[in-house]
């Protein structure tokens, strides 16, 4: 048996997958070859470490809570301040030009207008109700995750979803505060619920 043949069969020997006659030939080669014996010792040591390594169990409900948090964050409307900050960073990475100067002036006027009349901008950004619908969908998914882990029962209040199923309860884009807790009602047997935005006309 050559060294190349020996080293190709070392993994099968370590896992006990070689026939007895081939295992005997391999052992004879290892007894007389220091290089192959060193490879065998390294492989055996690695398998020993793998047997010692204990994989911790994943906490119950981690996947559903993680996905609910990600969806809640994705559904959270991007504030005007964040959009302005990104725009300023983008302009700052380029050499100043008359165009970037004009754009900076426009951003400044936009910021001033937002400070003077926040309700106007809020109405334009969420007047179609799509942001509120996304929030309701995220809260509904969190409620379903809660129910799956509580034998089909729903909580008394939406605050019970925090922080395991929702990091924070979302704010209604129109009102600027949490208007879903007031619009949540659970049945007496806690197996069904009603959810709506209390600010919806």
Nearest Cα to Cα of residue 138 among 174, 159, 165, 156: 165
The answer to whether the Cα torsion of 39, 45, 51, 57 is positive or negative is: negative
Calpha distance 159→177 (Å, rounded): 14
Determine the pLDDT at residue 109: 74
CA separation for the pair 164, 59 (Å, rounded): 12
Name the DSSP class of 162.
T
Q: How many CA atoms lie within 13 A of 70 on its CB side?
A: 6
Predicted confidence at residue 42, as pLDDT, reads: 85
Contact assessment for residue 127 and residue 154, using Cβ atoms and an 8 Å cutoff: no
Per-residue pLDDT in tens (0 to 9) along the chain, 201 residues: 788 887 777 787 777 777 888 888 878 888 888 888 888 788 777 777 666 555 667 777 788 888 888 888 777 776 777 777 777 666 565 555 565 566 667 777 777 665 555 444 444 444 446 778 888 888 899 899 999 999 999 998 888 888 888 888 888 877 777 878 888 889 999 899 888 887 765
Q: How far apart are CA 87 and CA 163, in angstroms?
A: 32
Residue 86 confidence (pLDDT): 72
Q: pTM for this one? A: 0.37
Q: How far apart are CA 194 and CA 201, in angstroms?
A: 17
Identify the DSSP state of 76. Answer: S
Q: How far apart are CA 194 and CA 196, in angstroms?
A: 7
Task: Please enumerate in sequence order all residues whose Cβ is within 8 A of that of 168, keeping only pairs 6 or more positions apart, or say none.
Answer: 72, 162
Question: Which position has the token pair 């619920």?
Answer: 193
What is the rounded distance in angstroms from the CA atom of residue 188 to the CA atom of residue 7? 69
What pLDDT shows up at residue 121?
A: 41
DSSP-assigned beta bridge partners for residue 100: none
């Amino acid at each position: 048996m050559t060294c190349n043949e020996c080293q190709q069969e070392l993994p099968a020997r370590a896992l006990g997958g070689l026939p007895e006659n081939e295992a005997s030939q391999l052992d004879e080669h290892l007894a007389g070859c220091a290089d192959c014996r060193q490879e065998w010792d390294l492989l055996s040591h690695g398998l020993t470490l793998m047997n010692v390594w204990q994989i911790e169990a994943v906490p119950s409900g981690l996947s559903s809570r993680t996905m609910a948090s990600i969806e809640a964050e994705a559904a959270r409307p991007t504030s005007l301040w964040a959009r302005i900050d990104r725009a300023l960073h983008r302009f700052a990475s380029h050499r100043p030009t008359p165009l970037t100067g004009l754009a900076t002036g426009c951003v400044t006027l936009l910021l001033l207008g937002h400070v003077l009349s926040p309700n106007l901008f809020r109405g334009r950004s969420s007047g179609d109700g799509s942001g509120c619908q996304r929030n309701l969908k995220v809260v509904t998914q969190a409620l379903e995750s809660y129910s799956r882990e509580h034998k089909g029962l729903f909580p008394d209040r939406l605050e019970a979803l925090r922080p395991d199923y929702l990091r924070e309860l979302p704010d209604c884009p129109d009102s600027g505060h949490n208007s879903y807790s007031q619009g949540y009602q659970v049945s007496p047997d806690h197996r069904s619920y009603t959810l709506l935005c209390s600010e919806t006309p």
